[in-house]
Amino acid sequence: MTLAPDHLKYTKTHEWIEETSHEARIGITDHAQQLLGDLVFVELPEIGATVSAGDELGVLESVKAASDFYAPVGGTVTAINQDVVANPALLNEDPYGKAWLVKLTIPKANEMSHLLSAGEYSESIAEEH
C-alpha cells in the first residue's frame, strides 16, 4: 500500500487536498481506490460551481460499487481533470499524481484546520480494520 504523502491533508472520507496559494487540488487516496477496485466511470462537477466543505463533488464508479466524493473545503471549481474522465483507471494507477480530480479556489486558509495530517489519516485507516 502506498503511504499517504506527508505534504497533503486528508479527510476521514478518503479525499486528499494539496493547497498552493489560494488554490487547492483534490483527489481520492490510494486507500479509497483500493477499496473501490477498478474504476470505470468518473463524474466531476461543472467548472464555476461553488461548494462548501462536505458537499458532494462527484461520483466514482468501479466494477464493485459507486461512491460519492466530497469537498474537503469550500471554494469554487476552477478546473476538472479531463484525463481522469477519459481514463478512470488513472485513479488506480496514480491517485496522488496524474489522477487529481478537481481544483478549487479557496477563500479561507483557516478552513484547512479540520483536515488530517498524513499520520492522522494513516491512523484512521488502521482503526477501520
Q: Taking 70 as the threshold, does the pLDDT of residue 94 lie above it?
A: yes
Give 115-124 pLDDT, tens digit per residue.
999 999 999 9
- DSSP SS3 for 22: coil
The secondary structure element, H or E, covering residue 120 is helix 118-128
Confidence band, pLDDT 50/70/90 cuts, at residue 126: confident
Residue carrying C-alpha cell 470505470: 40
The CATH class of the 12-108 domain is mainly beta
Asked if residue 12 has pLDDT above 90, the reply is yes
CB atoms within 10 A of CB 113: 8
Q: What is the pLDDT of residue 108?
A: 66
Euclidean distance between CA atoms 99 and 26, whole angstroms: 9
Note the pLDDT tens digit of each residue in 36-81.
999 999 999 999 999 999 999 999 999 989 999 999 999 999 999 9
Backbone φ/ψ region at 4: left (φ over 0), alpha (ψ -120 to 50), beta = beta
Q: What 3-state DSSP class applies to 33?
A: helix
What pLDDT shows up at residue 2? 54
Q: Where are the domains of the chain?
A: 12-108
